[in-house]
């Protein structure tokens, strides 16, 4: 799946046939700097930057059953360089940039509660980490 022009269009690319099929439009308009992750079979799009309003976004949308659903917003707006991954039904968002500058914070999203929590631990100096869970409460960070 990839998101197209103005990042409101959603399309499905079938790797076996090469066929691209138009799907439902997203609820919000994202220009750049968003992140996607797969969690419990659904795609989640977090944050980004809306160049038409010059705002960094804290929005979260879930693609489920060919429909986009607006979920609870993150605690902080996060644009460029934020990374998102999931592990055992929880989504983690690392770093990013917003109107206040670089972010070193980490948030986790509980799907059952539809709620974001800011973790007490923060990222080291750089905020452009690539992350992947390796076991419960441990993540591989690549700078």
pLDDT tens digit sequence for 40-64: 999 999 998 887 788 889 999 999 9
Per-residue pLDDT, 126: 58
Count of beta carbons in the 10 Å neighbourhood of residue 115:
12
CATH hierarchy code of domain 30-142? 2.120.10.80
pLDDT at 34: 86
pLDDT-derived band of residue 17, with 50, 70 and 90 as boundaries? very high
Phi, psi of 39 (to 5 degrees): -145, 125
This prediction has a pTM of 0.84
- pLDDT higher for 87 or 7? 87
Average pLDDT taken over every residue of the chain: 83
**Token digits of residue 129:** 């980490």
The answer to whether 116 and 106 are in contact (CB under 8 A) is no
């Amino acid at each position: 799946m990839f998101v197209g022009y103005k990042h409101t269009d959603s399309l499905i690319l079938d790797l076996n046939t090469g066929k691209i099929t138009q799907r439902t439009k997203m609820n919000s308009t994202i220009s750049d700097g968003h992140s996607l992750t797969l969690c419990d079979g659904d795609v989640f799009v977090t944050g980004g930057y809306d160049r038409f309003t010059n705002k960094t976004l804290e929005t979260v949308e879930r693609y489920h059953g060919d429909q986009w659903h607006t979920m609870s917003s993150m605690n902080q707006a996060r644009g460029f360089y934020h990374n998102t991954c999931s592990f055992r039904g929880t989504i983690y968002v690392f770093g990013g940039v917003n109107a206040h500058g670089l972010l070193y914070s980490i948030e986790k999203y509980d799907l059952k509660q539809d709620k974001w929590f800011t973790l007490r631990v923060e990222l080291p100096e750089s905020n452009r980490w690539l992350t992947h869970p390796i076991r419960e409460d441990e993540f591989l960070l690549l700078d």
